[in-house]
Amino acid sequence: MKAIVYRAYGTTDVLTLEEVPKPTPGDNEVLIKVRAAALNPLDWHLMRGVPWFLRLFTGLRKPRRTRLGVDVAGDVILTGPGVSDIKKGDSVFGAADGSFAEYVCAPVSALAIKPQNVTYERAAAVPIGGLTALQALRNKGNLQAGQKVLINGASGGVGTFAVQIAKWMGGKVTGVCSARNVNLVRGLGAERVVDYTSEDFTSSGESYDVIFDLVGNRPIAAFRSVLNPRGVFIGCGGGSPSTSASYLLAGMIGQLVMGWFTRQRLVGILAKRDKGDLEILRKLMTSGDVIPVIDRCYGLSELPEAIRYLEEGHARGKVVIAMPELS
């Protein structure tokens, strides 16, 4: 089978499309024929080995794992020992390490059945972005109906899910994005949309119960100035390949230190691959409460181009790798 492989850290030049052995599912795993896989910022972080402290976990001089991709949607063609709730022929979506390939194995604990009314491409766009948004707003922000939530980066891969999920939870949503994305974010359910190119949301006089920052383009103090006294600030990602590791580290330390001197809570979020939460996202897609937004689709061999586009930081929703029909 064909798969994207990288054996050194660097730019997209380190990515190669190679012939590799087809994997065999282990206990409680299934083998998936990949129909679509979606990109996340994690992919370029792993590819580049940045920020530098990431290499403490991924390999100091070269990556321990040589495959990229997590989000996946496809068809189960083989089940491993112990699998009972998913069968051969089922169409699924979820998380599978190394999903930029023709086939991939995944634990059933990280999969859900794909809704019939959702394409493979849209289903593949959901897992990490959807889980991050759901778990951030529910678990970290404890968002309640009627509360005001600000989403900075509302038109991005996680932001488009966050707007829709916050609305579904009953939140009063303000989305921050560029001028070209105002109509998109409003259409997703935001009551108010701020064009950051012409308006500074920190000087509007509004305050929020929950702030979900997906850009990392402002000091923590700026967000705290519009966060209610017992509000929650959730930081997630941000930055670009040119952002220094010291800047990211300073931001994390700033969250920790400032949290000592205020009743405001400042937290981060790293999505957990949770089957129950994937089932919630499946139901939300089925009902139409969540509609995955796709910016562009690429082929597997075009992954380097897709990552370069994602690194620019202007994608509207998700960037997806669509696979052709396989024999």
Q: Per residue in 168-193, pLDDT tens?
A: 999 999 999 999 999 999 999 999 99
Residue 233 pairs in a beta bridge with: 211, 266
Q: Can you say whether the dihedral through the CA atoms of 185, 190, 195, 200 is positive or negative?
A: negative
Residue 89 confidence (pLDDT) above 50: yes
Contacts of 163 by beta carbon, 8 Å cutoff, 6+ apart: 151, 154, 173, 175, 185, 188, 189, 190
Comparing 17 with 251, the larger pLDDT belongs to: 17
The whole-chain average pLDDT of the chain stands at 92
Residue 72 confidence (pLDDT) above 70: yes
Instruction: State the pLDDT confidence band at 21, using cuts at 50, 70 and 90.
Output: very high
What confidence score (pLDDT) does residue 264 get? Answer: 85
> What's the angle, vertex CA 294, arms to CA 304 and CA 37, rounded to 5?
50
Instruction: Write down all domains in the chain, each with its CATH number in brackets.
Output: 2-126+292-322 (3.90.180.10), 129-268 (3.40.50.720)
Residue 327 confidence (pLDDT) above 50: no
What confidence score (pLDDT) does residue 243 get? Answer: 54
> What is the reported pTM?
0.93
Instruction: State the pLDDT confidence band at 197, using cuts at 50, 70 and 90.
Output: very high
The pLDDT of 93-122, averaged and rounded, is 98
Number of Cβ atoms within 10 Å of the Cβ of 56: 8
- What are the strands, taking DSSP E only, across 80-147? 91-95, 103-107, 111-113
- Expressed in percent and rounded to 5, the helix, strand and coil fractions of the chain are 35, 25, 40
Residue 7 confidence (pLDDT) above 60: yes
The pLDDT of 135-147, averaged and rounded, is 98
Q: In whole angstroms, give the CA distance from residue 260 to residue 114.
A: 43
What confidence score (pLDDT) does residue 211 get? Answer: 97
Instruction: State the pLDDT confidence band at 244, using cuts at 50, 70 and 90.
Output: very low
User: Do the Cβ atoms of 214 and 158 come closer than 8 Å?
Assistant: yes
CA-wise closest residue to 206 among 254, 168, 173: 173
The pLDDT of 122-137, averaged and rounded, is 98
The pLDDT of 218-226, averaged and rounded, is 89
Comparing 53 with 287, the larger pLDDT belongs to: 287
| Cα 151 from chain centroid (whole Å) | 14
